[in-house]
Structure 1
Amino acid sequence: MSQLLRLKMAKQKAEAFLKEEGITRLPVDPFAIAASRDIIVEPKADTSDGVSGMLLRHGDSFGILYATHVQNEGFQRFSIAHELGHFILDGHVDHVLPKDGTHTSHAGFVSADPYELEADHFAAGLLMPSGPFRRAIGRRDPGLAVIEAMAADCRTSLTATAIRYAELCDDAVGVIISTGQRIDYCFLSEAMKSLPELSWLRKGTPVPKGTETARMNGNPDRIMEADRAANEIDVMDWLGGKRSVLITEEVAGLGRYGKTLTVLSSCSIGHEDEIEPGDDEWEMIESWTPRFHR
């Protein structure tokens, strides 16, 4: 079984779990889900940087500790959902915690370990299930505003919500996280991927000069102040290709996280040229290092 398929199945497992539990509304409460399985959840103040949470085992009893060094509710809820993924997904407990002790996690797609990636995808599906998420999107125009609204509805981090939005929306959307003048990762909606001969933005690719993102990233104070900026730009300036389309570039500083979120969006790019995702999609996923901290 391909790893891409396993990740999709992890999301589907989370959504199937919600259906079995009769959970149909947003936000989904990971604390309540843990309590329903007699899993004690507690904060851990002295967790080292990079550690998002821990799954504890003593016989058939389990507990979850979540990191508090990142003061972001969405990140903390995602971390708990990640540990629930280890608890619920087939084979995870036997692999990550076969005996009494503690399993330390690095949630947020910062680990290349397939079990950690599966738990991350489970968390995304659990907190942002496709059915309620799509219904909540409705007919809203694409862009940062709908992502912020969905982050509030789901009580999830802005970046996690942006990525899930790009995955599930019907509009042409690109989500980019960058640090300084380098791109950390990029995720494109299927409608955006329909543009011919795009240049995939891989990890380490320079931020295009003359963009709002480049200007924002050139001023760390704006990032720390969670500043916002928006402008219209040709999609070719960001993604290359052979089709010139005017799109909106919206940029949000992510505060102490030290990064920026860029949302590219357009209502004018149709689906007539939409391509089916294939092996190239997984090649892109492998080249990115997504972080869902904020």
Structure 2
Amino acid sequence: MSRPFRLMIARRGAEALLREEGITSLPVDPFALAAGRDITVEGKPEAHDGVSGMLLRHGNSFGIVYATHIPNEGFQRFSVSHELGHYFLEGHIDQLLKTGVHVSRAGFVTADPYELEADHFAAGLLMPETPFRMEMENYEPGLAAVDALAARCVTSRTATAIRYAELTRAAVAIIVSTGGVIDYCFMSDAMKTLPKLSWLRKGTKLPIGTVTARLADDPDQVRAGATVADEADVRDWLGGTTKASVSEESVGLGGYGKVLTVLSSGAISREEEGDDEEDEDDLVERWTPRFR
């Protein structure tokens, strides 16, 4: 099974769990879900940083410890949801809890397949597709939409932006960078339709002359959570052969030392997926796990 398909299954598995629990609205409370399975959840002291959380097992009892060194409720809720992913997703307990303790680094920061699956489970749990799409329709594409959705779902800007890029029909690209160097980029399906794109790779520098690059050059502004905006040519960011104007909005993520950039355009659109999307949904439905 391919990695993209496994990640989709992880997201759909979380949504299947919500349906079985009768949860249909936002926000979703991962602490209540854990309590319903008799999983003890505790915050660990702020002095202990470097990890987002841990899943522990003693006999048939489970516990979750989540990081508190980052005072961000959205990050903490995502961390707990990530550990729930390890608990619910097939094969994770057997593979990761051989010693009784698994330490996680949530937030799409690792290429480890189990960690990525748990990240995507957390995204599907806290931002389930149907209510998220309904909420998304209330806003024009851009950073303001990401912020509004993050407030509604009680999730971090970064996790919300990634989920937004996955589900929106608008042309959107989400870029996270540190010190002027790109950590990762997520693009919506509409943005991916641009021909001959130069995919942004981890470790490459931000495009010279962009307002994002200028913000990244000022660590004080990044820590202060400064926001900048401009119009840019999509080719300056993503290459390709199509000249199209995009809105470039960036915000410093405070103590993380990172910059979140949202590129959006109403001039770029994708074609309807048609039967191919329906066939894919049928296939995913057959593979989606069920929970007791």
Please give the TM-score of this superposition, normalised by the length of structure 2: 0.91
Aligned to 1:84: 84
- Equivalents in 2 of 1:178, 1:157: separation in Å? 16
Over residues 65-106 of structure 1, what are the superposed CA-to-partner deviations in whole Å (9 max), with x where a residue is unaligned? Answer: 10111111111101100111111111211111145x321111
Over residues 224-264 of structure 1, what are the superposed CA-to-partner deviations in whole Å (9 max), with x where a residue is unaligned? Answer: 11000111111111111111111110010000100100000
Aligned to 1:183: 182
Report whether the alignment pairs 1:42 with 2:42.
yes
Which residue identity lines up with residue 36 of structure 2 in the other structure?
A: S
Aligned to 2:75: 75
Report whether the alignment pairs 1:2 with 2:5.
no
Give the secondary structure class of the aligned counterpart of 1:271: coil
Aligned to 1:64: 64
Aligned to 2:16: 16
Give the secondary structure class of the aligned counterpart of 2:201: coil
Give the secondary structure class of the aligned counterpart of 1:164: helix
Aligned to 1:127: 126
Aligned to 1:264: 263
The root-mean-square deviation of aligned C-alpha atoms, in Å, is: 1.6
**Shift of the alpha carbon at 1:47?**
6.1
- Equivalents in 2 of 1:46, 1:137: separation in Å? 34
**Kept after mapping to 2: 8 A contact 1:194/1:273:** no
Which residue identity lines up with residue 218 of structure 2 in the other structure?
A: N
Which residue identity lines up with residue 118 of structure 1 in the other structure?
A: E
Aligned to 2:220: 221
Aligned ranges 1:97-112 → 2 under 5 Å: 97-98=97-98, 101-112=100-111
- Equivalents in 1 of 2:272, 2:83: separation in Å? 39
**Shift of the alpha carbon at 1:109?**
2.2
* Segment drifting more, 162-171 vs 236-245: 236-245
- Stretches (4+) displaced over 6 A: none
**Shift of the alpha carbon at 1:110?**
2.4
- Equivalents in 2 of 1:207, 1:182: separation in Å? 6
Aligned to 1:164: 163
- Equivalents in 2 of 1:122, 1:47: separation in Å? 28
> Gapped runs of 5+ residues in structure 1?
278-294
- Equivalents in 2 of 1:192, 1:8: separation in Å? 19
Q: CA 1:210–1:2 in structure 2 vs 1: closer, same or farther (change >3 Å)?
A: same
- Equivalents in 2 of 1:175, 1:121: separation in Å? 16
**Kept after mapping to 1: 8 A contact 2:57/2:101:** yes
Corresponding pairs, count: 275
Over residues 34-62 of structure 1, what are the superposed CA-to-partner deviations in whole Å (9 max), with x where a residue is unaligned? Answer: 00001111110156432111111111111
Give the secondary structure class of the aligned counterpart of 1:20: helix
- Equivalents in 2 of 1:252, 1:73: separation in Å? 19
Give the secondary structure class of the aligned counterpart of 1:38: coil
Please give the TM-score of this superposition, normalised by the length of structure 1: 0.90
Give the secondary structure class of the aligned counterpart of 1:45: coil
